[in-house]
Structure 1
C-alpha cells in the first residue's frame, strides 16, 4: 500500500513537471515578438476638413488679460489653453480692447487702477460676459478683490492664509468630491494653496473651499453674466492647472476639448538582472531575488492585470554594472528569465520599452552624475555603442521587436543625449520622464530631473511623462490622478519590482501587504475611472501625437450638438461639458462622467449629438 502511494506521488510529480515544461516551451516558442501599436498617427494621411466645412462653426474666442509681469503664471495659463485647444488672445490692460468680442475674460491678479477702469470689465460681465478671476489678493493691497469686493460677492475680508486641506462641493475635477488632505509626509510645511480668507454672500455658489469653510473657488451671477474667482494662489504651478481647467469648464454654457484617454502602467527595471541575494527575500520567502520575482511577484502582478484588465509597459534594463567606457558585456545567463518574462508581457498585449544597457543615466556632465553617485558618459559614441549592443542582444531573443518608448534611468537625461538615443534606436517615438518633477532633500525643485510637458518635443518625439508612482493610495495621489484625468484624460503610473527592498517605497511592508496596497490602488482607479482605455505607452504616445495636431470645432444647432475634427485619424476622445442631457448620437459614442461632463469618442471626423 505504501509502495503504491509513493508510486502514485512520483507519477503526479512527473506529470506536473512535464506540464510545466510543456507550458514553458509553448511560451518560449510562441511568436509574441512584435511591438504592435494600435494606430500610428500620420498627420499627412489624416482627414482634413475643407475650408467651407469649417465655416459652419463659429469658434468662441477668449481673452487672457494681465496687468503686471508674472511670466510664470501667464505662461502656465497659456500652456493650459493650448492643451485644451482654446482659441485665445493675450493682452495687457493698458491696451484698448473690445471685451464684448470675447466669450470669457481670464483676468490674472489685477490692481484697481485707471487702466482696468477704462476697460469697464464689470460692465462687460453685467451685459452677459464671463469673468474668471485668478487672484488671492496677496500681491497687491488694492487688488480688485479688496476694491470691488461687492461685485465678487464678498462680505468680509480677513487675512492671507495657507492650507493643504480642501473640500470639493461640486465635481471641479473629474472623480473628486468631498474632503482631501494634501499634506506631503516628506515636506509637511509645504502648502499647496495660499488664499484670501473671506466671507461671501449666501447666493454665491462655492465649488471648492478650505476645510474651515473659506471659499477657494466660487461663482456668482452678475447681471446677465457670471463671475468666478479662483482664490488659491500659486497660479504658476502645475498643481493649480486642473483647477483652472475645472473652473473655466464650469463657467461655460458648453465646452468641448480633446483628451488622450489612456491609462498607462509602467514597470521600471523589468525585466532586469535579478541574480542577487537579499536578506529580506531569503528570510521571508526562502528564495533568491530572481526566483522571488518569477515565482511570487510576477504571478501576483499577472493576477492584478487580469483582475483589472491592465496593460503593462515594462522598462527593460540589461545590466546593473556601471560601465560607460566598454566593453559593454552582460550576464548572458539572464537571457532565459528575460525571454520568459518578455514573452508573457507581450502575450498579454503589453509593451517592453527601453530603460538602458545599465542604470547609468545618459548624462555628459559629471557634476550632475555625482549627485546620485553615477558616472557620466564620455561621448555620444559610447552611448550609442552601449545601447546598440543591448538592443542587438535583445533582438537575438526577439528578432522582430522594435523599441518605441524610452524611460531614462533615475529620470535623468541630458537633452544632447537624445540625439544618441535616436541614432541607437531608430524606431524610438516617445520618452517618458516625469510630469511633476521631483523635489530634492531640501524640498526644492531638482533641476536635473527630466520634467516634461505632454506633447511633441523639438526632437520629434512624444513627451509622455509619468505622473504618479508607488503602491499607496492617499489623498495626494487621488488629487494628482484626477488632475491629469481632468486636463488630459491620462493616468500614467509606475512601480518597481524591487519595492520590497526599498524602505522608502515599501514603508518596510512585505510583499503580501504591498500586494494589498496595489490591489486597493488599482481597484480605486477601476471604480473611479473605468471609462479610460487601458493602453501601452506606445499606444498612448500616438494618441498624444493626434491630440497635438487635432482641431476641434463644434456648435449647437437646434437640438443638436454638431462636432467636427480636423486632422482626424480613426478615433478621437473628447470631454463635453454641458448641463443638457444627451439622448442619442451619430458617428460617435458617449458616456456620462458626472453631473455635467460626458466622454465623447469620435469614430468619424464629423458627428452629432441629440440633446434636450
Structure 2
C-alpha cells in the first residue's frame, strides 16, 4: 500500500469515527433530563345501588344441558359459562330429566352445548317450542328427526372435510370482518344441509349455513352448525346469538380500552437501522424521539389513550449473579421517555430486568426463543429488585403495579419471585389466546387461581397493522363484555418481519385508521391505563345487574355497580326503546336490526318498547 493511500485511509477512518462520536453526542443531547416529577392520578369511578322497589316482568332464565359423557360438549359448557359470566349473564345446569319440567316462556332459553343429545326426548322439545319456548344449540349434531324443528329441509349428514372461514350474512353484532376460506381462525366440522325458505341465516362458511334462526310454533330455535364453540374466539358471538332466540336481551359491558407499549421505556439501540435510515435519514434514537414518540403522543391526544409502558432494564441474557449494572450507555433515555409517558397521564409497569422469561430450566419454554433459564427464584428476585430500585430512583413516587412477562412466558417460580420482590405489583398481563408453543401463559380475566394477589388482565391483540383475524379478536371481546387491551412494541417499526417490510409511515397510517374506526364504532369505551382498567373491571365484576322483561318494558336494576353503566340491548325489530333523558342515552348500533347501546346514568333504568310506525 502506498504512503498516500495509507494517509488517505487514515483520514477516512478518522472522519468516520468522528461521525460516530458526533452521532453519539447528538443522541445523548436528544434526551434532555426533566426535573418535573409526575404523580400518577388514579381514575375515580362512581358506584351506586338501586333503591328497593317492586318491579314487574320476568327475569331471563337460561338452562344449560350437556350430556355428562360428551367430553367436547363439556368443554363448550365451560367456555360458554365463562363468556356468560363476563357479560353478567347466568345459566343453570340441568339434566335431561329436569329439562322435561321447564315451562315454556318468551324469556326462557334451553342451551345445548354438545352433539350428544341421545338423552333428550324429541317430543318434549317439540311441545316446549310450540308453546313458546326458546332453544339454542351451540354445537351441530346429526338428528334427522329434529329437522323440522331446526328448519332443515334436507340433511345429508356431515361434510367430509373441514370448513374454514366465516361470512357475515346478517349482522349479529357490528364490526366483525369476513374471514375467507384461506383463514384458519375458524375450522369446523359441519352438516351438509339445505334450509327451509323461512329460515334466517346470520353466518356461513364456504357457502354452508353456520348460524341460523328458525321460528317453530310460538317459539324459536337458533342453531350453530359448528364445532367452534370450544374456543375463546367467538365468545362474543356466542353471547350475542342468545339474543337471536329471544324477543329482548340485555348484556353488560365494562366499557374499557387500554393500549400498552411493551419494552418501553427501554435502552434504545445506538445503531443505524436500514429501514429508518432509508425512510427518514435518522439514527434509531433520533427516530424514536422525533418521529415515533411524536406520533404516539399525537395519537394519545386525538384518541384519548392513557398508555401503559412496560419498562425493561437491558437486553443482555445474563440470569445469574453478578448481574450487570443498568443504564450504562443509556443514562438519559429511560428517564426521558418515562417522564414523557407519565406526563401524559400514563402508567409505567414492569417488563423485567432483561428480556429473559422468568422460568427455571425445569419449567416449559419454547427452545426456539433461545432464552437462558434462571438458576432459581433468588436470582429472579435479585433482578426484579434491581428494577424496583431503578424505578424508584428515576420515577420517585410512582408505584409499579403491572407486570408483563417477556415473550408471554411465565410459570409458578416467576410469579412467586414477583410477589416477593415487587409486592406492589398486583396485575399480570399475558395472553388471552395462545398457540401450541410451550410455556406461554394463557389467562382469563380476573383473579389468578394460583396466586390470588394477582389480577389477570390479558392482552387481546397487538401490532400497528391489524389483519382480519386480529380485528376479529378485538371485535369479539367487545361483543362479549366491552373491552379492548392492545399491545404495540416500539421496535416493530425496526423489524422487517414484524413490520412486513413496511416503513413507519405505512404502519402509523394503518394504526391510526384502526384507532379512528374504534372510536367511531365504540365511542363509549373509556381509555384507561391498565391499573385503572383493572380497577374498573373489578368493580364491574363485583356488582350485580338484574333485568326484568315484558313485552313493552325492560327494567334494569343494579347493586354496587358502576354509574354510568353500559349495556347492549336487543329488542324486536318492530320496536324502539325509549328512556327518560335523566336515565341515560340510547344509541342504535350500526348495520343491525334491533341492537342498541345504552349508557345508563342511573342505577335503575326503565326502557319503554314503542312500536315503530309504518
What band does the TM-score fall into relative to the shorter chain? 0.7 to 0.9
CA distance in 1, matches of 2:30, 2:406: 34
Is residue 456–residue 545 contact of structure 1 (8 Å, CA) maintained in 2?
Answer: no
Give CA deviations for 1:1-41 in whole Å, capped at 9, x if unaligned: xxxxxxxxxxxxxxxxxxxx99987x82333x223221379
Greater mean deviation of Cα atoms: 582-591 or 313-322: 582-591
Match of 1:374 in 2: 371
The structure 1 residue matched to 2:76, chosen from 73, 77, 94, is 73
Aligned equivalent of 2:42: 37
CA–CA separation in structure 2 for the residues paired with 1:116 and 1:110: 11
How much has 1:55 moved relative to structure 2? 7.7
Q: Residues 75 and 112 from structure 1, CA distance in 2 versus in 1: closer, same or farther, beyond 3 angstroms? A: closer
**Which shows bigger deviation, 328-337 or 493-502?**
328-337
Does structure 1 conserve the Cα–Cα contact (< 8 Å) formed by 2:255 and 2:566?
Answer: yes
**1: CA distance between counterparts of 2:140 and 2:61?**
26
C-alpha change, 1:447 and 1:98, in structure 2 (3 Å) is: farther
Deviates more, 1:382-391 or 1:556-565: 556-565
Q: 1:336 aligns with which of 332, 336, 339?
A: 332
- Whether 1:122 aligns to 2:126 is yes
Matches within 5 A, 1:84-95: 84-93=87-96
Alignment of 1:346 onto 2:350:
no
Query: In 2, Cα distance between the equivalents of 1:87 and 1:308?
Result: 35
* 1:435/1:183 CA distance change after superposition, 3 Å: farther
Aligned match of 2:102 in 91, 99, 103?
A: 99
CA separation in 2, counterparts of 1:40 and 1:335? 38
Tell me which moved more, 84-93 or 226-235. Answer: 84-93
**Partner of residue 599, structure 1:** 597
Once the two structures are TM-superposed, the CA of residue 134 in structure 1 deviates from its matched residue by 2.3
For 1:209, which of 178, 181, 204 is the aligned residue?
Answer: 204
Q: Could you report, residue by residue, the CA deviation over 1:55-92 in whole angstroms, capped at 9, with x for unpaired residues?
A: 86753221111223223222112222222222321123
Instruction: Give 1:475-486 correspondences, 5 Å limit.
Output: 475-486=468-479
- Identify the range of structure 1 (581-590 vs 538-547) with the bigger mean alpha-carbon deviation: 581-590
Contact map agreement 1:172 1:247 (CA 8 A) in 2: yes
Task: Give, in whole Å, the separation in 1 of the partners of 2:326 and 2:333.
Answer: 14
* 1:538-568 Cα distance to aligned partner (Å, 9 max, x none): 1211122122212111224795532211222
Structure 1 residue 298 displacement after superposition: 1.4
Give the 3-state SS of the residue equivalent to 1:483 in structure 2: helix
SS at match of 2:189: strand
User: Which aligned pairs between 1:236-247 and structure 2 lie closer than 5 A?
Assistant: 236-247=230-241
Q: Which residue of 1 aligns with 2:9?
A: none
Q: Matches of 1:193 and 1:240 in 2, distance apart?
A: 13
- Counterpart Cα distance in 1 of 2:496 and 2:102: 56
TM-score, length of structure 2 as denominator length = 0.85
- Structure-2 separation of matches of 1:127 and 1:133: 19
Aligned counterpart for 2:559 among listed residues 566, 582, 585: 566
- Measured after TM superposition, the shift of residue 592 of structure 1 is 2.6
Q: Could you tell me which residue of structure 1 aligns to residue 15 of structure 2?
A: none
Q: Which runs of 5+ in 1 are unaligned?
A: 1-20, 138-142, 440-444
**Would you say the 8 A contact 2:365–2:440 is kept in 1?**
no
Partner of 2:11: none
The 3 A distance-change label for structure 1 pair 252 and 95 is closer
| CA distance in 2 between partners of 1:429 and 1:578 (Å) | 40
Give the CA deviation at 1:481. Answer: 1.5
* C-alpha contact 2:164 2:180 (8 A) present in aligned 1: yes
Alpha-carbon spacing, 1:608–1:332, altered in 2? closer, same or farther (3 Å): farther
1:439-461 Cα shifts (integer Å, max 9, x gaps) = 2xxxxx22411111112223142
Paired with 2:424 and 2:181, the residues of 1 have a C-alpha distance of 40
Task: Tell me the secondary structure at the aligned position of residue 344 of structure 1.
Answer: helix
Structure 1 residues 216 and 281 mapped into 2: Cα distance closer, same or farther (>3 Å)? closer
Offset at residue 106 of structure 1 (A): 0.6
Question: Structure 1 pair 56/29, CA: closer, same or farther in 2 (3 Å)?
Answer: farther
Deviates more, 1:577-586 or 1:75-84: 577-586
Cα distance in 1 for residues equivalent to 2:112 and 2:123: 12
CA contact (8 A) 1:587 1:603 kept: yes
Alpha carbons 1:54, 1:553 under 8 Å: kept:
no
What corresponds to 1:510 in structure 2? 503
Computed over aligned residues only, the root mean square deviation of the Cα atoms, in angstroms, reads 2.8
Q: Distance in 1 between matches of 2:373 and 2:189?
A: 41
Distance 2:598 2:328 in 1: 49
Q: Does 2:221 match 1:221?
A: no
Write the mapping of 1:190-339 to structure 2, written as runs, cut at 5 A.
191-212=186-207, 214-281=208-275, 283-284=277-278, 285-328=280-323, 329-339=325-335
Secondary structure class of the residue paired with 2:364: helix
1:356 touches 1:409 (CA, 8 Å); kept in 2? yes
Contact 1:411–1:434 at 8 Å: present in 2 too? yes
Selected match of 2:548 from 547, 555, 558: 555
> Is the partner of 1:417 in helix, strand or coil?
helix
Q: Per the alignment, in what secondary structure is the counterpart of residue 498 of structure 1?
A: helix
Asked if 1:427 is matched to 2:421, the reply is no
* Aligned-partner Cα distance in 1 for 2:437–2:299: 33
Give yes or no for contact 2:165–2:186 (8 Å, CA) kept in 1. Answer: no
2:381 aligned residue (381, 384, 393): 384
- 1:28 aligns with one of 12, 29, 34: 34
Q: Is 1:577 the counterpart of 2:535 in the alignment?
A: no
Normalising by the residue count of structure 1, what TM-score does the alignment of the two structures yield?
A: 0.85
Indicate the SS of the match to 1:452.
coil
- Whole-angstrom distance in 2 between the partners of 1:313 and 1:358: 18
The answer on whether the counterparts of 1:256 and 1:574 sit within 8 Å (CA) in structure 2 is yes
> Number of aligned pairs?
566
**CA–CA separation in structure 2 for the residues paired with 1:206 and 1:355:** 46
Q: Once structures 1 and 2 are overlaid, which stretch shifts more, 121-130 or 74-83?
A: 74-83
